[in-house]
Structure 1
Amino acid sequence: MRKVYTNAVLWACFFIGCSISSVYAQVNEGMISEREIEEHLMVLTSPKMKGRYPGTLGNRKVVRYLESEFECYGLKTFDDTYRQVFKAEMRGKKAAGRKVKTWNVVGYVEGNHSERKNEYIVLGAHYDHLGQGGPSSKAPGTKAIHPGADDNASGTSALLEIAEKLASNRYLLGRSVIVVAFGAEEHGLLGSKHFVDNLPVPKDKVKLMINMDMVGRLNESRQIYMGGAGTFPGGMKLMKKDALEMGLNPIIHAGEVGGSDHVSFYKAGISAIGLHTGGHDQYHRPEDTLNLINIAGEKSIAEYIYNVIVKVAQEDYELYFINQD
């Protein structure tokens, strides 16, 4: 029987430096596990986070958790910090025009090729959510924590697991991989827009962006949806082949880049693909909770994306932008 840790134990480990998942990973190096995914989800959807709304204490707690995990994995920093600060303008009648301080959390795994290590794949997911509701809530008038287990604690937990495995297997990488947890996505892709406008590396060295937004509800047909696979060479073939090998049912579009953080990259002329497992009735409602996440399915998706990154990070995989407009 799998051991599940309580939120109290997870928070105790967090405040001494690393979550249990990171300590456990030191023994099980290089693995993506259901256990660790669930532990990340427990922290991210905890009532202590209060829906991860930008500018709040809950949002700051998430940032501290993410940078603690990045440090435990051994991710490198740009400018000696994992935090990229920016001001986010809030939406909604009460908050309209109000700007709050929030962050992207950024680290990277350095590649090994003498030249290609200066080229980058970006892996991203947004960590923020709706707090206790607001104009984007599908339960208007309800003042209740929106835990956002699928949107987007699922993508953030997958981001952490993939980052951990990449860091443990960095010897496989020719190119480097930037890992970004974006803030303020729900207020207009603000974190990813800020990141693209303030890249820590030359723009022409960013070769591909892969984004995960709502990857926690893999259905019985194992359908994984993705848009933007045609924005880089061989993308359609690669994404389909690897998905089928993982037992996934890929629904792939060359264009249809979509409405999440990868759009910020595509608009800047950077190849970008976004992945999700589909919509559901709990979207942007208080009912988007951890118990509805298909953790085994999310593990499969994380392994799939990890495999894709290792392939496109090879020095002999040609990467350039292909416009789909």
Structure 2
Amino acid sequence: MKKILLSAVCLAIGASAFAQADITEKEIKEHIWTLAAPQMKGRFPGTKENKKTVNYVVKQFKKSGIAPYNGTYIQEFTAKMRVKKVVQDTPYVKTQNVIGYIEGSDPVLKNEFIVIGAHYDHLGMGGASSKKPDTVAIHLGADDNASGTAALLEIGEKLAANKALLKRSVLLIAFGAEEQGLLGSKYFTEHPTVPLSQIKLMINMDMVGRMNAEKHLYMGGAATFNGGVELMTSLGPEIGIHPFVNHYDVGGSDHVSFYKKDIPVLGFHTGGHPQYHTPEDDRRLINVPGEKLVCDYIYKAVMNVANRPGAIVFVPEKK
């Protein structure tokens, strides 16, 4: 009887561990509810709420078994804040990128990296980038970009649980100060923790929490690497979504900093909405089941590219 009970306990523990390693709606919601809570006051760079966000991401990386790279999760930099045109004094603040590392299993290919990124910052109480610039109120930033940060954490958790299946290595980066002009990703590409020549693809998630009823997922950059368009198109039916696979049209988020360095990119979003850059970008509007589909789609894309036997080659746009 003791042996039977012990076996049952072991099976229960195993099932629990598997569930935690999978991408779940429950965990996506928990991350967004934490990051876009009113108490986080819009996660503005240089504030104590920004630091709380950084600490939260580090805590989740540790919980998932995602290692620091070269001994630290933190890449600190100075960000120049955007101000209204009439304001002369431009403030500078200290903020951070958060970087996690999952080592690939192939002795050769592990020296090549896929970067998965999302910015964690938002607009605080509003300011120059708000669509309601004269309104002083907490800009919660649930879709922009608590949704992308939640996706980063969930995809990272599943990749870490299945790292034995990864041939190439993965860097997970939560970027700071994106809303101030892509400053976190610009700093990383100017001060990379790995040689840029070893980064074979950068995947970015910015506003992935508002999938519509037609299950549309938009992306730019699919043609920036060989086989990208075919891969991203083929994964849609498999997951049950309808991807809009733009060949280039890389948009205006953190992946642009990598594209400017001739690194292939994929930039994902689920479309614009009236709450963009307003205090009304609320966590209650997030389509959590839709975001899980986004995560599942991107996870499969990462596993495919990470295990590709051939070279991943940058393909510039022909003009």
- Range into which the TM-score falls when normalised by the shorter chain: over 0.9
Alignment partners' CA distance in 2, 1:228 and 1:281? 25
Instruction: Report which stretch shifted further, 182-191 or 44-53.
Output: 44-53
Give the structure 2 partner of residue 36 of structure 1.
27
> What percentage of residue pairs aligned between the two structures are identical?
54
Give the structure 2 partner of residue 311 of structure 1.
304
Alignment partners' CA distance in 2, 1:27 and 1:319? 31
Equivalent residue pairs, number:
302
Alignment partners' CA distance in 1, 2:182 and 2:88? 17
Contact 1:88 1:101 in 2 (8 A): yes
Residue pairs, 1:204-219, within 5 angstroms: 204-219=197-212
Residue pairs, 1:18-57, within 5 angstroms: 26=17, 28-57=19-48
SS in 2 for 1:250: strand
Contact 1:217 1:277 in 2 (8 A): yes
| 1:170 maps onto 2:163 in alignment | yes
Match for residue 131 of structure 1 among 101, 124, 133: 124
SS in 2 for 1:28: helix
Alignment partners' CA distance in 2, 1:134 and 1:240? 39
Give the structure 2 partner of residue 158 of structure 1.
151
- CA, structure 1 residues 28+174, in 2 after alignment: closer, same or farther (shift >3 Å)? same
SS in 2 for 1:306: helix
Match for residue 192 of structure 1 among 185, 192, 196: 185
Contact 1:155 1:216 in 2 (8 A): yes
Alignment partners' CA distance in 2, 1:95 and 1:306? 45
Contact 1:90 1:96 in 2 (8 A): no
Give the structure 2 partner of residue 225 of structure 1.
218
Give the structure 1 partner of residue 9 of structure 2.
none
Deviation of residue 25 (structure 1)? 7.0
- CA, structure 1 residues 251+222, in 2 after alignment: closer, same or farther (shift >3 Å)? same
Alignment partners' CA distance in 2, 1:238 and 1:278? 21
Q: Could you list the runs of 5+ residues in structure 1 that have no partner in the other structure?
A: 1-23
Deviation of residue 244 (structure 1)? 2.2
TM-score, reference length from structure 2:
0.92
**Counterpart code for 2:65:** G
Match for residue 315 of structure 2 among 299, 312, 322: 322
Alignment partners' CA distance in 2, 1:290 and 1:99? 29
Contact 1:25 1:31 in 2 (8 A): no
Alignment root-mean-square deviation, CA:
1.4
Q: Deviations over 1:38-93 (max 9, x none)?
A: 00011101122110000001100000000011111111212311010000000013
| 1:250 maps onto 2:257 in alignment | no
**Counterpart code for 1:161:** E
- CA, structure 1 residues 191+276, in 2 after alignment: closer, same or farther (shift >3 Å)? same
Q: Deviations over 1:274-314 (max 9, x none)?
A: 01000000000000001100000000100110010000001
Contact 1:152 1:213 in 2 (8 A): yes
- CA, structure 1 residues 315+27, in 2 after alignment: closer, same or farther (shift >3 Å)? closer
- CA, structure 1 residues 233+27, in 2 after alignment: closer, same or farther (shift >3 Å)? closer
SS in 2 for 1:122: strand
Give the structure 1 partner of residue 176 of structure 2.
183
Match for residue 61 of structure 2 among 64, 70, 82: 70
Give the structure 1 partner of residue 194 of structure 2.
201
Alignment partners' CA distance in 2, 1:77 and 1:95? 39
**Counterpart code for 1:185:** E
Alignment partners' CA distance in 1, 2:231 and 2:142? 29
Alignment partners' CA distance in 1, 2:95 and 2:16? 29
| 1:108 maps onto 2:81 in alignment | no
Deviation of residue 318 (structure 1)? 2.6
- CA, structure 1 residues 95+217, in 2 after alignment: closer, same or farther (shift >3 Å)? farther
Residue pairs, 1:241-320, within 5 angstroms: 241-320=234-313
Deviation of residue 95 (structure 1)? 8.0
Alignment partners' CA distance in 2, 1:25 and 1:43? 23
Q: Deviations over 1:243-262 (max 9, x none)?
A: 22111111111111110000
Higher Cα radius of gyration: 2
Q: Could you list the runs of 5+ residues in structure 2 that have no partner in the other structure?
A: 1-14
Alignment partners' CA distance in 1, 2:64 and 2:25? 18
| 1:91 maps onto 2:82 in alignment | yes
SS in 2 for 1:88: strand
